[in-house]
Structure 1
Amino acid sequence: MRDLSPGDFQAVCNQIASAVSNASQVFPPSAPQYTSDNQHEFFSATQASACSVEPGSAEDVSVITRTPFAVKGGGHTGNPGFSSTPGVQIAMTRFNAVNVNTDAGTVEVGPGLTWDNVYEQLSAFNLTVAGGRIPGVGVGGLLLGGGYSYIANQYGLGIDNVVAYDLVLPNGTFTTVTADNDDLWFGLRGIVTKFTLKSFPQGEVWGGIVTWGTDQLEASKNAIAKFANVTDPKAAILSTFAYISGDVLTTTSVFYDGPVPPPGIFDDFINIPAIQRDLSTRSFPDLVKSQVSTTIPSDVRGLYCAFGPTEYSTSFINDSVNEVIFWGRNLTQLDPKVQILAGIEPFTSGLLSHGTPSAYPPDRSQIYFPSGIALTWSNSSLDQIMAQSIRQAADDLQAAALREGQNVTNAVVYPNYSLFDTPLEAMYGDNVDRLRSLKQVIDPGNVMNLSGGFRF
């Protein structure tokens, strides 16, 4: 089925258009909706599909998934072909409802939304959920990959806070998956049309963005290493060291779940001279909106690659910065538009204590921080070189963690940051055999192999 010609694909698009209900719509390449349905954060992850489909019901989803297809929510993956296809692009745009059940303490969320959309709607109820930390991240991709959030220290990962999934199974049938469905709950496989999540009271928070220049590089490294030892579960940061045009910029997203942080926790972020500093008491949606200061141009190519340290010591952070500088200097000789960054994301020791066994993380007794390298460039002829370089950079940092005595021989990396060549065992550990067995039971016809993603 993967060898269909463009003409065959067009015939399939016509068949889908005649088979779906009025709740759904098929768009040809000339339609404006086609462009948005196919668009991803990185241009290199976008493909020209034969048509795009915006299903409006679970029943119509089952009609579409009988030909090579891809499912796109927020389009935030960097891996080519994971949520794009030359076949039929399914855009979950019309699954965009947010329904609050105050009696049950839950919220129903559609996979066509991004987290900033969700937070904005929940703010009217003074509620939040465990979701993404920056604008533009899709609901479905983050949750199905694990899901780290600003409130993860307090409540666990995104998947730990799912109450139910409404799911279209590979055979086209529909089901609601709860913890009673042991295997499906453990290793979800199919297309989710609704997530039911635990909700939490949410008042004002404190935080925003701080950006330091190269002149404050040593101070910024020390500040981030110092914060990595903070044990207050309401406090969180997400830091990046980025090589851009010869400079190293340190950008930190700062969060405290309360209107005023306790004295001392964020002193360095307040006091070190900064290029940009936007820290204040604000609503949760406003804080999330503040987390991106620039828009990625529509023609930028890019990839992510994960590594998994167990601690952010001063020496490891220094290794991370040196890695960014090394690759930045070398790769900009090939493409002056190259930018590369390393992410530092500390969490407290109780992070994984809130959930039950799940495919990821395979071992809840040991935290491997969800760390990653991001690389962007403009020259498409360099795609293979850039993929090899970002893989080497992540491997170098994993080796650096091992050299300093971290227990990372069998480190687990975060699926949502993982490069397309990442072995399944590196993300799911000893759970891979169970996941493969489940795949044989749930999808014996290999329907999901018609779409992109990691293969079981």
Structure 2
Amino acid sequence: MLAIQAAVTIDLAYSERIPYTFKGRLQSRTSEACGSLSTSLPDQLFWPNSTQYSTETTDIWSETCLLSPSCVFEPNTAEDLSQGLKLIKMSGSKLSVRSGGHMPVPGAQSLDDGVMISMSRFNTQALNSDKTIASIGPGQTWIDVYTWLAQSDLVVNGGRYPSVGVGGELIGGGIGYFSGSRGWGCNDIVGYEVVLADGGIVYATGENTTFSDLFWALKGGHNNFGIVTRFDMRTIPIGSIYGGFLAWNGGAKEQFFDALEDYMAPGGGVDDPHSAINAFASIQPAKGSSSYSLENVILYSLPDPSPVALRGFTSINSSYLTTSEVSLHTTWTDIPNLLGQFSNRNGRSLFWSISYKGDPQAISIHNHTVIDGALEELTHVAGLTIYATWQPISKSWLEISQRSGDAIALDPETDGTFIAGMITSLWDNEEDDEAVYAFVEKAAQKIQSETTKVGLYNPFIYLNDAAKTQKPFDALGGGKSLPRLKEIQAKYDPDGFIKNYLQHGFSLE
């Protein structure tokens, strides 16, 4: 009841600011929006109980995010989206936008009693004449993009996992396999095609003074400014590369963390721009401590069969190995394809972002807090696997970001090399949602408290890994980005339609 009252309060405040006639009930507004879309764009509007409605509303990674929109609008083009957005706005209906549907934040891509816009038909794949720029539609997954570009021996600095969607990953910043030499994924974007709140279609670039502020805001500012219908990204020539997936049993713990410590040390692998790792520890509490496992996705973007930067991990005693799928690959897409095992969409999931300096003490705090705590408190949760994840961010990465200019705007000198840590939980049943969330929140607070005490905490919250109650915009640019983001939102959404009616994983409020 309180949630309904809150929504109505927002809607009424909004209706006082814009010159339309609103009906009194949200349901009738949504019915009007769906009806108008069905009349004007009949082949792009899908009602409940239709096959396409079911497909679009369930193509979402976490079951915690499966909601019941009143209808699904699946536009073919930016012009169709523009027309549809105007109709939705005129009706006063709520709306959501789904690209890949990977963010496990309820409301980030779907909603109850509103219009869900699916970007599935925005699947542009085009190269400019010299193949230095790839035009990419947001409705694709990254493996779609990588497979296409591999035919031309090219790649872009997109997402690491094959099932992650293009759209959400890029507007949240983007951690990629090639970020050591390219920065955030958004730093390689040269232009965005965007449908604004009034239905206008604009092309935002850093060189266009008219929309250069919008260009900056979209690089890490999430879906708070409009709906992106195309990303133009710089391409990267790619040949043979080294890498793959490694997993060890708990016996490798000492060697694994020694390797991670060496990797994060000054002059270690983190400072090699060709190197990338995504290291994590996992436990299945119901199965006890014997289920403790250590994993790492590694990549070296040159044809070196034994890169020094990764040798700490590749030299761990082989007797502890449970999976070894590492080699020199002539086709680089072999590596993201190896990670299909992490793309299961038949469960419940939660992310939580927590950052700190790449110091062994902070890494240990993260590991023990998550793993030991889960063994003590979550053995009753069916199907639970919980992960402590370490994602290195180098100083040189931040220097590239700084030169490019983006809303993330971390300071290479202040933030330096650090770890964008993460707690990931995957489990089976809705009845355990509250217990899992409460544990993860408490664990994150403990990690923050203990790393703060020893001067290792970093307040950066990576938006794409954040939980619903986190505030990822507060620390961007040392606190300076958020006021500017709000100003830009007000400029391009003066009557508050995107702000108040489009559902966000994370709003600017």
Q: TM-score range by the shorter chain?
A: over 0.9
Give the structure 2 partner of residue 307 of structure 1. 354
Distance 1:308 1:361, change over 3 A: farther
Q: Which runs of 4+ in 1 moved over 6 A?
A: none
Q: Confirm or deny: 8 A CA contact 2:162 2:343 kept in the other structure.
A: no
1:415 aligns with 2:451: no
Distance 1:134 1:165, change over 3 A: same
Q: Distance in 2 between matches of 1:361 and 1:323?
A: 30
Aligned residues: 450
Give the structure 2 partner of residue 340 of structure 1. 386
Q: Distance in 1 between matches of 2:361 and 2:396?
A: 24
- Gaps of at least 5 residues in structure 2 are 1-7, 12-23, 219-224
1:441 aligns with 2:491: yes
What is the Cα deviation at residue 29 of structure 1?
2.3
Q: Distance in 2 between matches of 1:266 and 1:382?
A: 38
Q: Confirm or deny: 8 A CA contact 2:96 2:111 kept in the other structure.
A: yes
Distance 1:376 1:4, change over 3 A: farther
Aligned residue identity for 1:393: A
Give the structure 1 partner of residue 295 of structure 2. 251
Q: Distance in 2 between matches of 1:330 and 1:54?
A: 46
What is the Cα deviation at residue 381 of structure 1?
3.2
What is the Cα deviation at residue 10 of structure 1?
3.9
Q: Confirm or deny: 8 A CA contact 1:237 1:252 kept in the other structure.
A: yes
Q: Distance in 2 between matches of 1:148 and 1:420?
A: 20
Q: Confirm or deny: 8 A CA contact 1:307 1:395 kept in the other structure.
A: no
Q: Confirm or deny: 8 A CA contact 1:241 1:324 kept in the other structure.
A: no
Aligned residue identity for 2:435: I
Q: Distance in 1 between matches of 2:200 and 2:382?
A: 50
Q: Confirm or deny: 8 A CA contact 1:42 1:301 kept in the other structure.
A: yes
Q: Confirm or deny: 8 A CA contact 1:82 1:451 kept in the other structure.
A: no
What is the Cα deviation at residue 6 of structure 1?
4.9
Give the structure 2 partner of residue 112 of structure 1. 139
Q: Distance in 2 between matches of 1:297 and 1:191?
A: 25
Q: Distance in 2 between matches of 1:342 and 1:102?
A: 44
**Mean CA deviation greater in 2-11 or 320-329:** 2-11
Compute the TM-score of the two structures, normalised by the length of structure 1: 0.93
Alignment of 1:193-208 (within 5 A): 193-208=229-244
Aligned residue identity for 2:327: S
Aligned residue identity for 1:110: G
Alignment of 1:177-326 (within 5 A): 177-179=204-206, 180=208, 181-188=211-218, 189-228=225-264, 229-230=268-269, 231-244=271-284, 245-246=287-288, 247-271=291-315, 272-273=317-318, 274-282=321-329, 283-296=331-344, 298=346, 300-311=347-358, 313-326=359-372
Report the 3-state secondary structure (helix = DSSP H, G, I; strand = E; otherwise coil) of the residue aligned with 1:30.
Answer: coil
Choose which of 392, 398, 420 in structure 2 pairs with 1:352. Answer: 398
Q: Distance in 1 between matches of 2:368 and 2:338?
A: 28
Distance 1:291 1:226, change over 3 A: farther
Distance 1:294 1:304, change over 3 A: closer
Q: Distance in 2 between matches of 1:357 and 1:406?
A: 26
**Mean CA deviation greater in 281-290 or 369-378:** 369-378
Give the structure 1 partner of residue 56 of structure 2. 37
Q: Confirm or deny: 8 A CA contact 1:345 1:371 kept in the other structure.
A: yes
What is the Cα deviation at residue 91 of structure 1?
1.0
Q: Distance in 1 between matches of 2:373 and 2:95?
A: 35
Choose which of 26, 37, 50 in structure 2 pairs with 1:16. Answer: 37
Distance 1:264 1:57, change over 3 A: closer
Q: Distance in 2 between matches of 1:233 and 1:450?
A: 41
Choose which of 452, 455, 475 in structure 2 pairs with 1:405. Answer: 455
Distance 1:430 1:387, change over 3 A: farther
Alignment of 1:37-76 (within 5 A): 37-39=56-58, 40-62=60-82, 63-64=84-85, 65-66=88-89, 67-76=93-102
Q: Distance in 2 between matches of 1:56 and 1:30?
A: 22
Q: Distance in 2 between matches of 1:265 and 1:224?
A: 11
- Gaps of at least 5 residues in structure 1 are none
Structure number having the greater helix percentage: 2
What's the Cα RMSD here? 2.1
Aligned residue identity for 2:293: L
Q: Distance in 2 between matches of 1:171 and 1:297?
A: 35
The C-alpha deviation readout for 1:314-338, integer Å capped at 9, x for no partner, is 2222222211223322442441322
**Mean CA deviation greater in 393-402 or 69-78:** 393-402
Compute the TM-score of the two structures, normalised by the length of structure 2: 0.83
**Mean CA deviation greater in 422-431 or 74-83:** 422-431
Q: Confirm or deny: 8 A CA contact 1:361 1:412 kept in the other structure.
A: no
Give the structure 2 partner of residue 361 of structure 1. 409
Taking only the aligned residue pairs, the percentage that are identical comes to 26
Report the 3-state secondary structure (helix = DSSP H, G, I; strand = E; otherwise coil) of the residue aligned with 1:275.
Answer: strand
Report the 3-state secondary structure (helix = DSSP H, G, I; strand = E; otherwise coil) of the residue aligned with 1:134.
Answer: coil
What is the Cα deviation at residue 234 of structure 1?
0.5
Q: Distance in 1 between matches of 2:293 and 2:476?
A: 30
Report the 3-state secondary structure (helix = DSSP H, G, I; strand = E; otherwise coil) of the residue aligned with 1:412.
Answer: coil
Q: Distance in 2 between matches of 1:33 and 1:17?
A: 14
